[in-house]
A and B are shown apart, each in its own frame.
Chain A
Amino acid sequence: MIRADSPVLLDVRGLEASIGDAKILKGISLCVRAGEVHAIMGPNGSGKSTFAKLLAGHPAYTAIAGTVTFRGNDLLEMATEARAQAGLFLGFQYPVEIPGVSNAQFLRLAYNSIQSARGREELDPLEFDDLVREKIKVVEMDPSFLDRNVNEGFSGGEKKRNEILQMALLEPVVALLDETDSGLDIDALRVVANGVNGLASPDNAIILVTHYQRLLNYITPDYVHVMQDGQIIKTGGRELALELESRGYDWVRAEFERARAAA
């Protein structure tokens, strides 16, 4: 929902970033206000996932120019965990498996880390069990997944549901969902999308990073950004996603090249 007077949560300006010697992001600007849903689309290798991981604090990526302000603070100066504690959430494209650690134990550790950073009460295992059993309904996940090791042996759909469960527990202010729809069958996609829609509120914002338009049939974006070669080359409304679906990405690139040549 676009409201001109709602507060800016995330403000990215002229962001450039590299991994090793390779420059991946070449000047990205993006402003996200409370209540908004953004979709970042683009072909493989355009830098979408790098952008998401960099914002969340992945150590492999280095910002070399530009600024990122998150709720008034310099995000790039914050440690990875501090970003999460301040309300940034990254839903992983490939959630990590952690053998030997139960999902319930992991979820409670994450929940309590965020709670204590926000000056709120931590929950003991019993109290947390009540909470997580309530939240797990959002993603229609079987509670037996709580007793299993984190993501170990989970199907692609189960892993993504587990990501959304984490989002439900951690109540982020800005959620970046990286290819959350990849590898999902139609039922899982519906469940995950319903979960995300249920968590969207006028006070938070969601950024969907996706290759396909499919997810956007279920979660309606306010803005669609097309990323190409480390830049946002076009921004539009939800109708842009449909146009990309029918016409592909080439015309956007051509349009961008023409505009650049003219300038």
Chain B
Amino acid sequence: MSTVAAQSPFMKTLLGGEPAGASGTAWLDRLRAGALERANSVPLPTTRDEAWRFTDLAPLTRLSFQPVVEAADVAQDDVRDRCFPDSHARLVFVDGVWSSELSQVSAGDGVAAMNLREAMAKYPALVEQHLGKLARSDSNVFDALNTAYLRHAAVIVVADECSAPRPVHVLQLATGRPGAHALYPRVLVVAGSRSRCTVIEDFVALAESVYFSAPVTEIVVGPQAAVSHVRLQREAPDAFQIGSCNVSQDRASSYQSIHVALGARISRLELNVTHTGVGCETRIDGLALIGRRQLADTHSFVDHAHPEGKLRQVHKCVAGAGAHAVFNGKILVREGAQRTDAGQSCRGLLLSDRAHIDVKPQLEIFADDVKCAHGAAIGQLDPDELFYLQSRGLAHERARNLLTYAFAAEVIERVPVAAIRTRLAHTVLERTQEPA
């Protein structure tokens, strides 16, 4: 174990125990030990760091969180309400800990979806090759923490040429049991050449309490493969989620994702997509719908390292009451990534005078034959539209919700699973008036 002193009480408590113990697999032990070292040495970000300028973690780092030692009991009923019909497999983690009782794995040769331990037995080389390679444990202290504590993970392997007929659902349940726990959900997706799959990551709380989650997802998209990814963040109102999703795309592959942030006191998603071959298509859409004193931060980074890559990105923020939404969309077009075609748009809707939205497009272009467009606009509800709806008998709150839905619909309608679209529409349309 590392001897480097942890820098703050927050980190000290997190790293207090012996993180993961020996796994019995040398490479995994090395991976974790290396990450633990980094977790001890990489400083916690502050608002003096450019990438964290708008996101003050003080409300998080003032608190202390304990590692999860034992899995909590969760009733089947709690899971049933949170399932989506028609999934190919369901992987359920309770406070980051694998629950085989609640899960329905898929062990088929085409589309395998299982916990890390089983995956390491079945696909030892593949897991060793990819696990921890895309996460940025060297520079990101939260990635490092997750990897240092890596014991359980959803592993989804899609064989070459295979299509998953239905989505794979990864359900991350936070029990919110007493003790202020730190959770480390982890997902690895390896999509083989010319394969297709849809993965739903759903972060759900069973109780309203304070906990800290630092999820890490790694997605390897093989040549000409297509991965569709839905990420729903519905953490408890007082919880914290600082997560990352790291994607590498091989040549002519497609990655489409939609991430929706609804919960948590403070949440942040770092979404990193790297093109490692020519002709990759990326579509990343996001929606943050927050109120109260919530902060939701999305930092996306698309690294065009090869020619003929295409990006389409739409990000929408709805901030009510005293909420604060942050969007930073970085697009890097490296030298030689000619004929890159990238388009990014960010739109914000302020529902109150105290809400605020910070938006920062960030284009860095080192190739000369590229098309890059970006736009950002922040606005409020149009009083004429509100009047129109109220003049038809709709109460103010209902009119506001309908117009909020209209604003968010562009993203919601792109969710490839009907049950999620319906649920999101319901969430938006039934939002109650927040205390000012």
Binding site for B on A (CB under 8 A): 53, 56-60, 79-81, 83-85, 89-90, 92, 95-96, 98-101, 106, 109-110, 113-114, 117, 166, 170
Contact = CB atoms under 8 A, between A and B. Distances in A.
15 contacts: A53-B387, A58-B387, A81-B391, A81-B393, A81-B394, A84-B390, A84-B393, A95-B388, A96-B385, A98-B385, A98-B402, A100-B413, A106-B402, A110-B392, A113-B398
Contacts of A92: 388, 391
Q: Which of B392, B405, B407, B410 has the most CB of A within 10 A?
A: B392
Interface in B345-388: 382-385, 387-388
Nearest to B395: A81
A100 B398 contact: no
Interface string B395-429: 11011001101111110110000000000000000
A95 B375 CA distance: 28
B377 to A, nearest CB: 15
Given A80-B391, A109-B394, 20 more contacts: A56-B387, A59-B387, A80-B396, A81-B391, A81-B395, A81-B399, A84-B391, A85-B393, A92-B391, A96-B382, A96-B388, A98-B403, A98-B406, A99-B410, A100-B409, A100-B413, A109-B402, A110-B392, A113-B394, A113-B395
Given A80-B387, A96-B385, A101 B395 contact: no
A170 B391 CA distance: 11
Which one of A56, A98, A100, A166 has the greatest number of beta carbons of chain B within 10 Å? A100
Given A96-B384, A100-B406, A57 B393 contact: no
A63 to B, nearest CB: 16
B77 to A, nearest CB: 27
A56 B402 contact: no
B393 A114 contact: yes
Contacts of B383: 59-60
Given A100-B408, A100-B409, A101-B405, A57 B394 contact: no
Contact of A90 (B391, B399, B407): B391
Contacts of A59: 383, 387
Contact of B402 (A81, A89, A101, A170): A101
Interface centre among A79, A81, A92 (most CB of B within 10 A): A81
A58 B383 CA distance: 9
Contacts of B384: 96
A60 B385 CA distance: 13
Contacts of B387: 53, 56-59, 80
A83 B393 CA distance: 8
A73 to B, nearest CB: 16
Contact of B409 (A53, A85, A95, A99): A99
Contacts of A80: 387, 390-391, 396
Contact of A113 (B385, B388, B392, B403): B392
Contacts of A113: 392-395, 398
A81 B388 contact: no
A227 B408 CA distance: 42
Contacts of B388: 92, 95-96
A90 B383 CA distance: 16
Nearest to A107: B392
Given A60-B383, A100-B407, A109 B398 contact: yes
Contacts of B402: 98, 101, 106, 109
Given A92-B388, A96-B388, A101 B393 contact: no
A115 B412 CA distance: 30
B406 A170 contact: no
Nearest to B410: A100
Q: Which A-B residue pairs are the 6 nearest by beta carbons?
A: A100-B409, A113-B393, A110-B392, A80-B390, A84-B393, A100-B406
A79 B397 CA distance: 13
Contacts of A166: 392
A17 to B, nearest CB: 15
A110 B393 contact: yes
Given A96-B384, A98-B385, A56 B408 contact: no
Contacts of B410: 99-100
A92 B408 CA distance: 25
A106 to B, nearest CB: 7
A65 B364 CA distance: 60
A45 B66 CA distance: 69
Contacts of A114: 392-393
Contacts of A99: 406, 409-410
A166 B410 CA distance: 26
A95 B390 CA distance: 13
B409 A57 contact: no
Nearest to B413: A100
Nearest to A110: B392
Nearest to A176: B391
Contacts of B391: 56-57, 80-81, 83-84, 89-90, 92
Nearest to B406: A100
Nearest to A96: B388
Contacts of B385: 96, 98
A163 to B, nearest CB: 10
Given A96-B384, A96-B385, A101 B390 contact: no
Contacts of B398: 109, 113
A101 B409 contact: yes
A99 B397 CA distance: 18
User: Which of B382, B390, B393, B405 has the most chain A CB atoms inside 10 A of its CB?
Assistant: B393
A110 B399 CA distance: 10
Nearest to A166: B392
Contact of A117 (B393, B399, B406, B408): B393
A84 B388 CA distance: 11
Nearest to A80: B390
A177 to B, nearest CB: 13
